[in-house]
Each structure stands twice: as C-alpha cells, then as structure tokens.
Amino acid sequence: MRRHLTPANLRLAVQGGFALFLAWTSVRFLAHVRWALGQTEIWSPKPPAVEGFLPISALMAAKRLLATGAYDPIHPAGLTIFLAIAGMSLLLRKAFCGQLCPVGLMSNLLERLGRRLGLTWQPGQRGRRILGAPKYLLLAGFGYVTLSMSAGDIETFLRAPFNLVADTKMLLFFQGPSALTLAVLGVLAAASVIVPAFWCRALCPYGALLGLLSRLSPTAIRRNADACVSCGRCARACPVGLPVDTSLRVTSPDCQGCAECVGACPAPGCLGVDFAGWPLPWWSLATGSLAVLVGASLLADALGYWQSPLPPQMVRRMHMLMMGDMPDF
C-alpha cells in the first residue's frame, strides 16, 4: 500500500535532506581548514553556507547594515542567511525551525522516541510560559549587547582576528568537545525525549527572535470551527503543545510552522494554512522555506554578497597566526 505524503514525513524528509547538505558542507569546510592551517597545500575554498552557524556575528552585521548601508565584508553569507531566515519568519512563521533547522531535526527524532516510549510530557499554558522564558532572557542579553554597540564598535568586532576565524573555532569546538559539553548535550537530549522540542522552546535565542518576527507574519494555521469534531488530535500532535483545538488562528510565537496538526486532523476542511485570508497547501511551508533560502543565496551570489572577498593568502596567514599550533585533523 502506497504511503500518503503527510506533513510529518515531508518535514522529516526536508530536515534530513538539509542535514545531509550541511554534512557535505562540513566535509568541504574541513578541507578548507586543513589548507588554512598549513596541513595541506591543496587549496579548498570555504563553503559559504558554513557562515550560517555564526548568528551573533550576523546579528551585529545586520545592525551595521541598517546603520551604514554596508554589507558584512568578512562573513557575507552569514548575514545573507540571517536576513533570509528573518524574512522567512515574516512570510512563513517559524518554518525554518520546523522544516529546516538541524537542531529541529534532532528534536523531531527525540520527540518521536519519547512518544514511542510513552515518556512525552506537555506542560500546560502556565508551564509553557515558564519554560519559554529563558530563551527570551538570552535574546534580551544578546540584543542589549548588540544595540549598545556603536557602528564603529561593530566594525572593530567584525574585522577582529577572532571573528575572521570564528567559523574555524566553531568547527574545532565541536570536533573536540569537553566532558562538560558532552554532559550538557546529553542532558538536553534526555530533556527533549520527555519535553518535545525542549531546546527550541526553552533555550534557543535564535528561535525566540524568529518567533517574535513571526507575530507579524500573515501566515498561520487556521481552524474552521464548523468543521471541527473536537477530537483534540491536532493539539496532541503539536510538538510545542499549543491548544490548536481551541484556537481559530494559531499565532503563538512558539508555532514552528511544522503543520503536524494539519496532518493529524481527521475532519476534512477543518485545519489548513492561511495566508492573509487565502488558503495555502500545507506543503507550502516546507517548499516555501526552501525557496526563500535557496533564492536568497542565489541572489546574494549574483550581487557579490555570498562568497567572502578576503584573499585566500590573507585567510591562511590569519589562521596560521591565530591557530598555527593546532594539531592535525
């Protein structure tokens, strides 16, 4: 029997495909870092997509762009990805979190494990608010630091030697995690088995920012009360425990745009995706998020805002200066 396409399996397929792309990017970046550290003479260009893992640098570059109109000269792809994901949230809610984010993929798999083992627990409305508070505090801290910096301070930070090799430092951090790092990751994974999307809901400041931007989005899950049979399946399927079954329009900043609730609904015409009053197919959240990210990268590449303009020898010299004593990979 042919399996029908559902929001759950499309989401997993898109997340998995994006994770494979990031794995391929990591392999290419590893080759670039080996060249930059003088461990091989075979030059390998840095894959621009790796700069998407530098959100703090991108946030500062975004403020600099607004203040001066100048694009980030060090990590242009990082700023492009940041702007694309922010724009995605304005259009399609937090579809990046629900459809693309690699951490979201791990959360998705851990949630499935928790449901299979019968360990899943969803807090009530008050619990959701308490659980979500830390990520907004973290966002406020990062926002305060960024907003308090002048354009000159940001310029100094962006051109600082540390920022020039920030992506390499990130790679090395994950290649050789300490016992404490592994313990923290283990605790987060265990918490995600019990509380679905624990990291996303409680601690991710990036997701907090995207959630606030999504409040301005014309896209939302809408419920036709006349067609509803009050089965509650939509609310039980929601990874973040939103009361979809009692909402006419889901506009919570915690909504990940995963459309799991739509797939769980047994009543025809009850749940769907709405864009400013116009119905959209539920799969538009996944395909739309991919289209925004790919389109932004292609446009940025055409405009010269994708590949780093730094000369290769300067990149290598800076790596040798900052990290020349690092062991071979």
Mean pLDDT of 13-37: 95
Q: Which of 11, 71, 21 is nearest to 50 (CA)?
A: 21
328 pLDDT band (50/70/90 cuts)? low
What global pTM score does this model have?
0.93
Banded model confidence at residue 13, pLDDT cuts 50, 70, 90: very high
Dihedral of the CA atoms 89, 94, 97, 101 (nearest 10)?
A: -20
- pLDDT(115) > 90: yes
pLDDT at 1: 35
Mean pLDDT of 263-285: 95
* Residue that is written with structure tokens 């918490």 in the block: 191
- Summarize pLDDT for 188-235 with one digit per residue, the tens: 999 999 999 999 999 999 999 999 999 999 999 999 999 999 999 999
**CB 221 within 8 Å of CB 251:** no
How high is the pLDDT of residue 3? 56
Residue-wise pLDDT tens digits, 141-156: 999 999 899 988 999 9
What pLDDT does residue 161 have? 87
Tokens at residue 197, please? 């999307």
